[in-house]
Amino acid sequence: MKLLPRTLSALFIVLAIGAGAGTVWFFVRYPRSAPPRTISIHVSAALIERGRYLANHVAVCVDCHSTRDWNAFSGPIVPGTEGAGGERFDKELGFPGTFYAANITPAGLSQWSDGEILRAITAGVTRTGRALYSVMPYPSYRALSEGDAEAIVAYIRTLTPVSREIPPSQLDFPMNVLVRTLPEPYAPKPSPDRSSPVAYGRYLTTIARCPVCHTRSERGTPIQGMEFAGGVDFDVPLAGRVQSANITPDSETGIGDWPLTFFIARFRDPTSARTQRLPLRDRRSNTVMPWTMFAGMTDEDLGAIYAYLRTVKAVRNQVARFSGPS
Ligand code: HEC
Ligand code: HEC
């Protein structure tokens, strides 16, 4: 009779040791990260200009890492706050905790080496080894070429230093544990082939996060067959709910009947385009799509994005973009 409880307690001890060892293993194994690379970026005016362009108009770092004016269309940046951080992403906007964009001006990153900044951008690990949550879009920036990643680092080193203390981000359970599984070491990539608009367009869409915002996902995984078909829900600060548009070549519900000139014009002046049905004075029509930043993209780059989007599968999916307060 005594045998059973003893077996059970032995089993319990084995399980407890197993769980303890598992926990230690998990915390040692994750976040997966490689030591920051020792790089010394060869700074030139052209490199800084490339970084400025990417950080402001394509990868739009400055979009999240500055104060945004949500009373205006697509939340433009408040001048003088470029890179100073502080934007809040919280539960009200659908995030698993409260996240603050970091101060990435030289005042915020004075202790960081170039290699450490590059690692944070492309692999999601901070200087002290903390796993960043993927609201900082390093899963998209993994695709950056080494040259472009270095250009971005060179550029943010030139931002006007702004001393601004940013509160630490706070994650809810279980994301405070799971976040450790998100970072992945970066494998340096060669420069994109600009002679092929489709290949270059695919590269630009990835680092501009078009797929992330325009593809619905289920438990963090994009739904297969719905790539670029839109319908992702966003809560816009001070406004209401917005759903991302279908940007596949479907001619009825996507952008299949948009000529290239219209596509480019839509980016250049998003507020006056014919598809912008609701005027901004109706606050419900505000959007998280960083139109004001993307407006600075070159014709070549918008053309490449257009060329790539023509090649993705047409998906019939009607989306009502603006539906008012949530
Ligand atoms: C969609 C919004 C968003 C975009 C776009 C974005 N970031 Fe971030 N970034 C964040 C948030 C939020 C954090 C803090 C995340 C956390 O605490 O887990 C962060 C953290 C960081 C950090 C870590 C700093 C620290 O002190 O811990 C660096 C460096 C950084 N971002 C640089 C960049 C660069 C460079 C780009 C563009 C290539 C960029 N970010 C684009 C939102 C963004
Ligand atoms: C932060 C999320 C986000 C990102 C990043 C984003 N979009 Fe959007 N996009 C939206 C939302 C939400 C809408 C619907 C509201 C609106 O029109 O602004 C939208 C609308 C659009 C429209 C308008 C379609 C129409 O019918 O008028 C086009 C075109 C578009 N996006 C293309 C792109 C491309 C190309 C990229 C990458 C370069 C991109 N988007 C990146 C969220 C995003």
Q: What is the mean pLDDT of the chain?
A: 91
Q: How many CB atoms lie within 10 A of CB 221?
A: 7
User: What's the mean pLDDT in 218-224?
Assistant: 91
In angstroms, how far is the first alpha carbon of the chain from the final one? Answer: 62
- Per the model's pLDDT, the better-predicted residue between 3 and 58 turns out to be 58
pLDDT digits (tens, 9 = 90+) for 194-203: 999 999 999 9
287 lines ligand 2 (CB under 6 A): yes
> How does residue 182 score in pLDDT terms, banded at 50, 70 and 90?
very high
Task: Report the separation in Å between the CA atom of 245 and the middle of ligand 2, taken as the mean of its atom positions.
Answer: 6
Peptide bond into 249 cis (omega under 30): no
Residue 45 to residue 218: CA distance in whole angstroms: 43
Task: Report the separation in Å between the CA atom of 241 and the middle of ligand 1, taken as the mean of its atom positions.
Answer: 24
What Rg value do the Cα atoms of the chain yield, rounded? 22
pLDDT digits (tens, 9 = 90+) for 258-310: 999 999 999 987 665 433 444 455 556 788 999 989 999 999 999 999 999 99
pLDDT of residue 282: 57
Say which ligand is closest to the CA of 296.
2
pLDDT of residue 3: 58
Record the tokens describing residue 277, joined without a space: 């049905």
Smallest CA separation from ligand 2 atom 19, residue? 244
> How does residue 236 score in pLDDT terms, banded at 50, 70 and 90?
confident
Task: Report the separation in Å between the CA atom of 319 and the middle of ligand 2, taken as the mean of its atom positions.
Answer: 12
Residue 28 to residue 12: CA distance in whole angstroms: 24
